[in-house]
Amino acid sequence: MTKTLAGKTALVTGGARGLGKAMVERLADEGALVLFNYISSSSAAEAVVAGVDARGGRAIAIQAPLEDDDSISRFAASVTATLREATGSDGLDILVNNIGGGVYGGIPMTTPEVYDHTFNNNVRVPFFLTQALLPQLRDGGRVINISSAASRLAGKDFVVYSMSKAALDMFTKVLAKELGPRGIPVNSVCPGFNATDANEHEMNDPEIRQQIEGNTLLGRFGQPEDIAGIVYALASPDGGWVTGQVIEASGGFNFLS
């Protein structure tokens, strides 16, 4: 069976669990050498690498919290050095900016610390990591930013998260213009509610779960593999003519007719 990403290199930020883990596994299963970072759980990262290895793929975990400009620079240098050691070249074909997150909260209770932390994770880190890795990104490569369906929803209880993901989507569109001459498609993927530990409370509360599933056209929480499949489609040769797009993969959450 032909592996469509054979010979390619990929980086997935936040790849030790949840959506990122599924992305690492799918890209590696399709033949790419996949690097990913994790913050502190070496056992989780090692389990991802072992699982990929067991299926005949290649993945490399790098312990690197992405918190500030210095940590972003150090991580970019580690990625470059790791690629050179593993492949003899520092070229990167696929960059998936998956790291992100936020907390619930409306305007009255949002603190400057929550605001700054949310924008740091969802906007500053992907922006400056992408900037740092542009010299290594090969012409014809891919950049995929993991946004959220929240970027189109004006929810009072997750205002800062929505704002930050909307900013990430605008970064996607401008970066697509920047990298178009190099033949590099850039897109956002916007998940809805997925069955990951980040949504454990929503999944385990029967009332909330019923509300979410009832407000999703396909009637269920997404699975990490659902999002990984969209990421792979954009990273694959068949995804080369799609760029500058904000692609929602939420199963039709809070669908607006």
Q: Which two tokens stand for residue 62?
A: 């790098």
Answer for the pair 12, 19: CB distance below 8 angstroms, yes or no. no
Maximum CA pair distance of the chain?
55
DSSP the chain: ---TTTT-EEEESS-SSHHHHHHHHHHHHTT-EEEEEESS-HHHHHHHHHHHHHTT-EEEEEE----SHHHHHHHHHHHHHHHHHHHSS--EEEEEE-------B-TTT--HHHHHHHHIIIIIHHHHHHHHHTTTEEEEEEEEEE--GGGG---TTBHHHHHHHHHHHHHHHHHHHHHGGGT--EEEEEE-SBSSGGGHHHHH-HHHHHHHHHTBTT-S-B-HHHHHHHHHHHHSGGGTT--SEEEEESSSBT---
Q: Is 104 a catalytic residue?
A: no
Say which of 38, 104, 161, 232 is annotated catalytic.
161
Answer for the pair 69, 128: CB distance below 8 angstroms, yes or no. yes
Q: What is the set of active-site residues?
A: 161
